[in-house]
Structure 1
Amino acid sequence: MALLTDKVVLISGGTQGLGAAIARAAVREGAAVAVLGRRAELGEAFVRELESSGARAAYFRADVGDVGQARAAVAQTIETFGRVDCLVNSAGLTTRGTLLDTEPELFDAHVAVNLRGPFFLMQAVVRDMLARRAPGTIVNIITSSAHAGQPYLTPYVASKAGLVGLTRNAAYALRWDRIRVNGLNIGWTDTEGEDAIQRQFHGAGDDWRDQAAKKLPMGRLARPDEIADFVVFLLSDRSGVVTGSVIDWDQNVFGGLD
């Protein structure tokens, strides 16, 4: 039997990059998926791709930084599929800012997308699970930068470090309800969004991946499909009773010193 047979999986930021890879992996493992994103044309095209393989899939337009839109997307998912069994918070904002040059607007945008959005998506999904007295699983996509991060990622790091705490707090609060909550601190990953960020903020050329690979222990960036397989494992019963874990999914070893 596939790992997510008959499960309903809701994925924020699910129309491209890592979120889309997670959606594909979940479908492959037997799930129905609802993907959230801000760009309707992208989301609708992606759902057509999933449906062409025989999957049950739906796209709901939502900016998770807007609590009303986040809550409405959960309601739409429940109306369409009857419930939510699994949630993946994959949407993220990674625009650059240091401690000295970050304005309140940029800080608030990071908190809205990277922390407030996951908080209220979790709240809405957990309310559904509790109403049905059903178990469930949640995976939050965080970042290895939550350990400290680069100086130019200060608002991003602050918001994602908050998500680390939220993950553990929710896991503890919900453990007797058999709702498991885990997180992944992912490292440098080759996505469309990362390509855009490298070009916009770091003046990267077409060879930026090759240049980055030279600086990495394994000689390459992580791939979304690799992370997606691990997320599916955490969503599934195969990950057993594990909850409250924030796993460093990275090729660097944090705390190691030469």
Structure 2
Amino acid sequence: MTQQSSTRHSDTFAVVTGGTQGLGMAIAKRLAQDGAAGIVVSGRDPEKGRAAAKDISSLGTDCRFIKADVSRVDECELLIQKSIDAFGRVNALVNSAALPSRGTLLETTPELWEAHMNTNARGPMLTMKALVSHLKETGRPGSIVNIISMAAHCGQPFLTAYSTSKGALVTLSRNVANAYAADHIRCNGIMTGWMDTPGENQTQQDFHDAPDDWLVEAEKGQPMGQLVKPDEVAGLASFLLSPESGVITGSIIDFDQVVRGAYPTSGR
């Protein structure tokens, strides 16, 4: 068993949606390494979920898998309640689950639009609602981190529904932060740039017919020679969820190497 590296989360009982792979799993692992008392990872694939929970538990934290599709109202509410039942309480939430499918304005059907809004905006709203209700009932503080995307600033033409749903999550995160600051319930967001994850690899193959070496070529074109790595984001998420981040709330942090508002120089 790998020893936990710190105790910053010794009183943390966390739920991580989309926690069975990619960024969500990286965050769950970092919470375990930072001494979390208990973690629930959720996702739609039980086999993948059980394997993830076993892997995270090997780091010294009791980790459970709870199957949940955050596009479904009842499953969002049950996820938080089952997590509370498992550990007695929950005081941290990471909304990492997201739908990445593509579509321009002209290609976006009402069904695609609804799927993105239900998964990427309504799902986090419902999990936050359930957690905040629990925290207010018990009078305990808590912390929420929503994984957003730099695409929320605009996004490529083929990300119409995705970008809009993530933009909604930006506003929702700030609204929740403002509403419950006096209850010591904090809510922050991380706007991730282009990231190297298994999900992104699948997206590149499914929607962009990318070759097997797409990552190598993509990283050559980045200012710092790499895509964002999940472990890098996980460190920030752990900090924001921990008491070490103090009163930080309502912050939406760009986690990217492309500076928003910057433009290429003319060479002169």
Query: If the length of structure 2 is used for normalisation, what is the TM-score?
Result: 0.95
Q: Equivalents in 1 of 2:13, 2:226: separation in Å?
A: 33
Q: Which of 180, 186, 191 is the matching residue for 2:186? A: 180
Matched residue of 2:191: which SS?
Answer: strand
Structure 2 counterpart of 1:6: 11
1:52, CA displacement in angstroms? 2.8
Matched residue of 1:137: which SS?
Answer: strand
Q: Equivalents in 2 of 1:86, 1:14: separation in Å?
A: 13
Matched residue of 1:87: which SS?
Answer: strand
Structure 1 counterpart of 2:128: 122
Query: 5+ residue gaps in structure 1?
Result: none
4+ aligned runs moved over 6 Å, structure 1: none
Q: Equivalents in 1 of 2:10, 2:152: separation in Å?
A: 33
Q: Equivalents in 1 of 2:138, 2:177: separation in Å?
A: 18
Q: Summarize deviations over 1:1-59 as a string: whole Å, max 9, x none.
A: 52211310100000000000000000011111101100001001111122233320111
Determine what percentage of the aligned residue pairs are the same residue: 47
Q: Which of 234, 248, 256 is the matching residue for 2:254? A: 248
Q: Are residues 1:136 and 2:142 paired? A: yes
1:137, CA displacement in angstroms? 0.3
- Mapping of 1:1-258 within 5 angstroms? 2-31=7-36, 32-258=38-264
Matched residue of 1:184: which SS?
Answer: strand
Residues 32 and 60 of structure 2 are in contact (CA less than 8 Å); yes or no, is this contact kept in structure 1? Answer: no
Q: Equivalents in 2 of 1:113, 1:162: separation in Å?
A: 12
Query: 5+ residue gaps in structure 2?
Result: 1-5
Q: Equivalents in 2 of 1:51, 1:254: separation in Å?
A: 38
Q: Summarize deviations over 1:110-141 as a string: whole Å, max 9, x none.
A: 00110000000000000010011111000000
1:238, CA displacement in angstroms? 1.2
Q: Equivalents in 1 of 2:45, 2:219: separation in Å?
A: 31
Q: Partner letter of residue 19 of structure 1?
A: G
Matched residue of 2:25: which SS?
Answer: helix
Query: If the length of structure 1 is used for normalisation, what is the TM-score?
Result: 0.98
Q: Equivalents in 2 of 1:54, 1:243: separation in Å?
A: 29
Matched residue of 1:88: which SS?
Answer: strand
Residues 33 and 59 of structure 2 are in contact (CA less than 8 Å); yes or no, is this contact kept in structure 1? Answer: no
Q: Equivalents in 2 of 1:253, 1:25: separation in Å?
A: 26
Q: Equivalents in 2 of 1:107, 1:62: separation in Å?
A: 21
